[in-house]
Amino acid sequence: MKILGIEHIGVAVKNISDNAPFWNHILGLNKTGSETVKDQGVKTDIFNTGKGKIELLEALDDTSPIAKYLDRRGPGIHHVCLQVEDITTAIKELKDNNIQTIGDHYTTGSEGYKIIFIHPKTTGGVLVELAEKPEINHEKE
């Protein structure tokens, strides 16, 4: 597969409004979006570093993967997302190599990206997301 770079880091937070000021005001990163991604059970504030984004992730409800992560591990870096040229090719290569994905097909993530997560047990403990950028501009809510 062809990896194009670190697309973003996902950070699990209890409350976006408590955590955004560090990234925004102390580090001076530009906030480039806010989005609710129902498929993933999260709302997110997105900050651009210039090379890669920081996405703060707050759970929409108790069934959200972020709520479960916070219960188990507390707030912190939840995953790293790598941009791929083609998600379908990437998923096929993962399966061919017996790398376990979470779900068999891509779903839709923030900013309309086509995404899939790789199970941490096959990556050495890291939750890795792969994401293909959508061809057309995704309309933000």
Exposed/middle/buried for residue 90 (C-beta within 10 Å: 0-12, 13-18, 19+): buried
SS3 123: coil
Q: Pick from 87, 94, 115, 116: which binds a second copy (CB under 8 A)? A: 94
Q: Pick from 36, 86, 99, 108: which binds a second copy (CB under 8 A)? A: 99
> Which region among 37-45, 46-54, 60-68, 106-114 touches a second copy (by CB under 8 A)?
46-54
123 touching a second copy, by CB under 8 A: yes
> Which region among 33-41, 59-67, 94-102, 104-112 touches a second copy (by CB under 8 A)?
94-102
18 touching a second copy, by CB under 8 A: yes
Query: Which residues face 95 on adjacent strands?
Result: none
For 26, what's the count of Cα atoms within 13 Å in the CB-facing half-sphere?
A: 5
**b/e per residue 26-58 (b: at least 16 CB within 10 A):** eeebeeebebebeebbbbbbbbeeeebbbbbbb
29 touching a second copy, by CB under 8 A: yes
What residues make contact with a second copy under the rule CB under 8 A? 1-6, 9, 11-13, 18-19, 22, 26-29, 49-52, 54, 56, 73-77, 79-80, 82-83, 93-94, 97, 99, 120, 122-127
